[in-house]
A and B are shown apart, each in its own frame.
Chain A
Amino acid sequence: MTTATPTVAAGTQKTDGTPTTTAGRVRKRLNSRTATLVSIVIAVVWTIPTFGLLVSSLRPEDEIKTTGWWTAFTNPQFTFENYEQVLFGRSASSGQLAGSFINSLAITIPSVLFPLAFASLAAYALAWIKFRGRDWLYIAIFALQIVPLQMALVPLLKFFSTGVTLGGVTLMPAWDLVDEQKFAQVWFAHTCFALPFAVFLLHNFISQLPGDLMEAARVDGATHPKIFRTIVLPLITPALAAFGIFQFLWVWNDLLVALIFAGGGDETAPLTVRLAEMAGTRGNEWQRLTAGAFVSIVVPLIVFLSLQRFFVRGLLAGSVKG
């Protein structure tokens, strides 16, 4: 910032008094009222695609397929039929998203809780317990953030399906999971992939807690587990919320991990997998796609809108997810 000051001074001299035409035009353009107007217009344009989806999902099938959603305002016909069909319809083509919705929940909840708990424990140890090699360990975990999860997919799937044998000795048998048991694989994969970022984010918060507080607790004879539970956890609730929301959105919206570890069966496929499948095989069944897409969007939207404050804080604290 100190380097910027002289250039500014130089610039001022040039435009002192009568502003150059360019500057004048820019000033006019950046005039706050115009700026407000432009920003509102952009915001509206940004929202139109989503809005169109919502309107369409409420229109009867024939209408969706023959007229644009914008005609719904001059010729209003609305129905919940699409949602009923897509959620509870009996035919295989309808999507049966109610089951997938439950799958999404069953996948997401543990996939948020496990990394949250493990990472906060690890972050505390890395920040406040003194042991040899601590800094190196932190750097190693930090560096793992950049490994794309694609690097782990093939061997991890093999790990679940064939187990581990080393020199003819079975160290771990195959998991052999069927149907809804496959959720466990997805939890495991999501937890592993989330940990480096989670440790990094929570370490940022935990290491900034006042050292005096820890010292005082130590002097009073509190052990590390006690300090962790009674002092650290309550203080880092905002950070936990930030990561929780982050991970929730990530897992709920994930397609790749679910596709590989949950598969496409009715028992396990979450909303994203089912929707991607519908978009591929029934790309013109807009009445189902629009309603289905909205079903998958509504939960993260609610979470996001109600907890936006925490989410933004988390983003700003650690926007280097790899």
Chain B
Amino acid sequence: MEFDFAAEQPKLLMLMYGLVAFVLVVGGLLLLLDVVPAWFARRREAQLVAASASGAPLPRRPRQREGIFALFFLLPTLLLLTIGLVVPAIRTLLLSLMNGDSTEWVGLRNYGFLFSDDAMLRVLTNTLIWVLLVPLVATGFGLIYAVLVDKARFEAVAKSLIFLPMAISFVGASIIWKFVYAYRGEGDQIGLLNQIVVSLGGEPKQWLLESPLNTLLLIVIMVWIQAGFAMVVLSAAIKAIPGDIVEAARLDGVSPWQMFWQITMPSIRPALIVVMVTLTIATLKVFDIVRTSTNGNYDTSVIANEMYNQAFRYGQSGQGSALAVFLFILVIPVVIYQIRNLRQQREG
């Protein structure tokens, strides 16, 4: 075991450059914003002094130009958003109408490919399964857990344990679960799932190779990660229900079941929608889990994974772009739904 520290030095140097650039850019901007107005103020003062000394009429005070300030405050953000997001998104839209190496216009052929190719249809079906299951299961579980644990004695610890997977990368989580699903042909099983199956008298299986079960097993990983998010947001919403409503219901002798459906559910509806929408969008874009667990093989691929493969492995930037655009189109109705809900809430 040796560690070649010299090999790491260029990286640390690069990190240093990055930090120096940060200080220069941000510090420079703030300094500029400080110095320039001060300079103008001084010049105006000098003008005033000169004017009053010569007895000429005082120059009129110029209108405050706040817009200039705003421009400088916004400059880095607008520049980066334009270069890094707006222009590339438009170019992706155009690329999706071109062939693999972007030399010819092909119209909507790439989109036709999405809906005719057998492997692609499999990808779309898988994505649909993901999008239907993950938000529903994760939110349902998060909600039940939030209700269960509300005001329980170990609430903080229990919630932390459920929430913990949020900190784990999708890659890390995939490895954790691949280990749970691990299979050995002979001898003791090392994967927890197969061990449970064996001890119940079943035959061990290569879980991740069996379609369509493997997609469901990958979905378990996503639910495991995201349930904590749903739980935390919903738990906060439950705690925000005014105490007197709950108290009044309790005095009326409402059962916990009714309390849940008639008090809790209507009160946390907005939070519920936010969680569902957030999870739906996150699920649509899921990439890391599929790539790490199966690399999209054995019929598990989803849109984001296929987009990466097409654009960056097979060099089919046309088909890859079409997949990206399709992803974007799928996100739009979800977001519109969310906005409409927010508006209703504000009016209601």
Interface size class, chain A = 35 or more
Give the chain A neighbours of B25 by CB distance below 8 A. 117
A219 at the interface (CB under 8 A from B): no
A216 at the interface (CB under 8 A from B): no
Interchain CA distance A68-B192 in the complex, whole Å: 7
Contact A225 B33 (CB under 8 A): yes
CB-CB under 8 A for A131 and B77, given A8-B263, A146-B331 = no
B168 at the interface (CB under 8 A from A): yes
B241 closest partner in A (C-beta): A1
Interchain CA distance A31-B188 in the complex, whole Å: 41
Contact B176 A304 (CB under 8 A): no
Give the chain A neighbours of B163 by CB distance below 8 A. 308
Count, A-B residue pairs, CB within 8 A:
404
Contact B338 A255 (CB under 8 A): no
Give the chain A neighbours of B255 by CB distance below 8 A. 15, 19, 23-24, 26-27
CB-CB under 8 A for A146 and B69, given A153-B311, A184-B18, A276-B292 = no
Contact A113 B148 (CB under 8 A): no
> What is the predominant secondary structure among interface residues of chain B facing chain A?
helix
B89 at the interface (CB under 8 A from A): yes
Contact A35 B148 (CB under 8 A): yes
Interchain CA distance A105-B290 in the complex, whole Å: 25
Contact B277 A90 (CB under 8 A): no
- Kindly specify which of B6-14, B47-55, B106-114, B127-135 makes contact with the partner chain: B6-14
Contact B253 A12 (CB under 8 A): yes
Quick one: which of B232-266 are within 8 Å of A by CB?
232-233, 236, 242, 245, 249, 252-258, 262-263, 266
Contact A144 B86 (CB under 8 A): yes
Chain A nearest CB, measured from B95 CB (Å): 6
Within 8 Å by CB of A125, from B73, B263, B288, lies B73
Within 8 Å by CB of A68, from B151, B189, B224, B288, lies B189
CB-CB under 8 A for A102 and B154, given A88-B1, A191-B84, A319-B274 = no
B161 at the interface (CB under 8 A from A): yes
Task: List 20 additional contacts besides A150-B324, A152-B84, A255-B291; criterion CB under 8 Å.
Answer: A1-B266, A1-B267, A23-B257, A39-B145, A46-B227, A47-B164, A66-B187, A68-B188, A121-B76, A148-B328, A151-B85, A180-B10, A226-B34, A256-B287, A276-B288, A279-B292, A286-B182, A297-B167, A320-B338, A322-B331
Contact B307 A225 (CB under 8 A): no
Interchain CA distance A35-B110 in the complex, whole Å: 53
Contact B69 A43 (CB under 8 A): no
Within 8 Å by CB of A154, from B95, B160, B304, B328, lies B95
> What is the predominant secondary structure among interface residues of chain A facing chain B?
helix
A237 at the interface (CB under 8 A from B): no
Chain B nearest CB, measured from A90 CB (Å): 7
Contact B331 A148 (CB under 8 A): yes
Contact B172 A69 (CB under 8 A): no
Tally of contact residues, B, Cβ under 8 A: 131
Interchain CA distance A96-B191 in the complex, whole Å: 26
B30 at the interface (CB under 8 A from A): yes
Chain A nearest CB, measured from B38 CB (Å): 8
Interchain CA distance A56-B26 in the complex, whole Å: 46
Contact B175 A39 (CB under 8 A): no
Contact B85 A146 (CB under 8 A): no
Contact B262 A4 (CB under 8 A): yes
A74 at the interface (CB under 8 A from B): no
B92 at the interface (CB under 8 A from A): yes
Interchain CA distance A114-B22 in the complex, whole Å: 7
Contact B11 A32 (CB under 8 A): no
Contact B84 A189 (CB under 8 A): yes
Contact A16 B84 (CB under 8 A): no
Interchain CA distance A30-B127 in the complex, whole Å: 36
B212 at the interface (CB under 8 A from A): no
Interchain CA distance A148-B307 in the complex, whole Å: 12
Quick one: which of A52-89 are within 8 Å of B by CB?
52-53, 56, 64-71, 84-85, 87-89
Quick one: which of B184-215 are within 8 Å of A by CB?
187-192, 195
B253 closest partner in A (C-beta): A12
Give the chain B neighbours of A253 by CB distance below 8 A. 168-172
3 residue pairs, one from A and one from B, having the closest CB atoms: A192-B84, A253-B169, A125-B73
Quick one: which of B137-190 are within 8 Å of A by CB?
145, 148-149, 151-154, 157-158, 160-172, 174-180, 182, 187-190
Chain B nearest CB, measured from A259 CB (Å): 8
Contact bitstring A226-265, B, C-beta under 8 A = 1, else 0 = 1011000000000000000000010011111001100000
Chain A nearest CB, measured from B183 CB (Å): 10
Give the chain B neighbours of A119 by CB distance below 8 A. 77
